[in-house]
């Protein structure tokens, strides 16, 4: 199959899925409690479970970074994640508000609007597939959607199993990075969302160094030299970064020493839950399949 046909197939699938989701949002909204979160990880999980949040923080940025599940048209933007518009949230009349621990500083303002529930995913710094499924089940319980949570987990695991079948065995480990500037990168380690995603499709992570609670190390590109792995660049690149890197002899040396062709994928929310993990796995699989046609 040509790379064009492969992309068209994925685009057609995504378009059909988005159309189906959007067409059902109004019916779901009528039956759903009025809930919301300023945390995108919780928002994507809420949507994946069939909930329709009344509000979201930085909706345009959600569309750029998270993308799927898409936001329904009736979900209103409430401003910045770190400084949401409290008056706007009040106007939306939520019956319940969810936050992550790192947004706890705003809890005292939100409790005057609706009961606030804190749900943790990354605070412990331990992230594996069981943590992601537990988070999904907990959210299902909080939303009264336990059956939907179990169905979602089964659906995602089945999809990941199918993706795994499309990837040839004997693949090199992946070195997954995101540029902060042209000299420094986040490198995603074993406890990252990305690592959980690729392990489910039969790939391994080349980075074994110490990471933070979100699963990445912040290092200079010199730390990547000599690592034998396929480099995966997660977009976006810094402004003008592509041109600068193409002319940077040290970066070209790092790529040469890796022994593999560089893979570049669209932005994926690295602080996400199961929906982001599946999306990352799909992007990597699509790139792997495309490599076979070139």
What's the CATH architecture for 170-293? 3-Layer(aba) Sandwich (3.40)
**Higher-confidence position of 5 and 124:** 124
Q: Could you give the C-alpha distances from 199 to 81, 122, 227, 282, in angstroms and in order? A: 31, 19, 19, 13
Q: Bridge partners of 36?
A: 97
Say whether pLDDT at 261 is over 80: yes
Contact 288, 171 (CB under 8 A): yes
DSSP 171: P
Separation of alpha carbons 285 and 252, rounded Å? 25
Q: Quick one: average pLDDT of 172-191?
A: 97
The bridge status of strand 96-99 relative to strand 116-118 is parallel
Say whether pLDDT at 287 is over 80: yes
Q: Quick one: average pLDDT of 38-50?
A: 97
Q: Considering only CA atoms, which of 197, 194, 242 is closest in space to residue 215?
A: 194
Contact 219, 185 (CB under 8 A): yes
**Higher-confidence position of 124 and 44:** 44
Average pLDDT over the chain, rounded to an integer: 90
Say whether pLDDT at 242 is over 80: yes
Residues 3-34: pLDDT tens digits?
A: 445 545 554 545 555 555 444 445 444 456 89
Query: In which band, very low, low, confident or very high, does the pLDDT at 273 lie, cut at 50, 70 and 90?
Result: very high
* Domain boundaries along the sequence of the chain: 3-119, 170-293
**Higher-confidence position of 10 and 75:** 75
At residue 25, the pLDDT reads 47
Lowest mean pLDDT among 16-30, 205-219, 269-283: 16-30
Query: In which band, very low, low, confident or very high, does the pLDDT at 127 lie, cut at 50, 70 and 90?
Result: confident
Lowest mean pLDDT among 144-153, 186-195, 284-293: 284-293
Fold classification of 3-119 (topology level)? Rossmann fold (3.40.50)
Lowest mean pLDDT among 52-56, 68-72, 127-131, 136-140: 127-131
Say whether pLDDT at 179 is over 90: yes
* Domains 3-119 and 170-293 in one fold: yes
Q: Quick one: average pLDDT of 86-109?
A: 95
Query: In which band, very low, low, confident or very high, does the pLDDT at 264 lie, cut at 50, 70 and 90?
Result: very high
């Amino acid at each position: 199959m040509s790379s064009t046909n492969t992309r068209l197939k994925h685009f057609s699938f995504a378009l059909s899925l988005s159309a189906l989701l959007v067409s059902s949002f109004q019916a779901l909204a009528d039956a759903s409690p009025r809930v919301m979160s300023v945390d995108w990880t919780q928002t994507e999980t809420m949507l994946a479970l069939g909930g329709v949040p009344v509000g979201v923080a930085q909706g345009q940025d959600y569309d750029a970074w998270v993308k799927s599940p898409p936001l329904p048209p009736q979900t209103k933007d409430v401003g910045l994640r770190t400084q949401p518009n409290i008056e706007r949230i009040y106007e939306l009349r939520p019956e319940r508000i969810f936050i992550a621990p790192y947004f706890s500083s705003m809890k005292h303002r939100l409790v005057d609007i609706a009961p606030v529930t804190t749900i943790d995913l990354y605070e412990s710094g331990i992230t594996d597939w069981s943590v992601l499924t537990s988070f999904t089940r907990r959210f299902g319980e909080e939303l009264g959607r336990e059956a939907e949570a179990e169905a979602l987990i089964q659906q995602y695991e089945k999809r990941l199993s199918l993706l795994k079948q499309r990837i040839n065995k004997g693949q090199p480990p992946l070195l997954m990075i995101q540029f902060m500037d042209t000299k420094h990168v986040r490198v995603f380690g074993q406890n990252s969302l990305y690592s959980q995603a690729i392990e489910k499709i039969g790939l391994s992570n080349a980075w074994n160094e110490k990471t933070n609670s979100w699963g990445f190390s912040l290092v200079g590109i010199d730390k990547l030299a000599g690592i034998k792995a396929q480099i995966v660049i997660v977009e976006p690149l810094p402004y003008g970064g592509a041109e600068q890197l193409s002319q940077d002899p040290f970066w070209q040396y790092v790529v040469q020493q890796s022994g593999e062709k560089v893979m570049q994928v669209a932005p994926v929310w690295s602080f996400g839950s199961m929906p982001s993990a599946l999306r990352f796995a799909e992007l990597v699989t699509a790139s792997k399949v495309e490599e076979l046609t070139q």
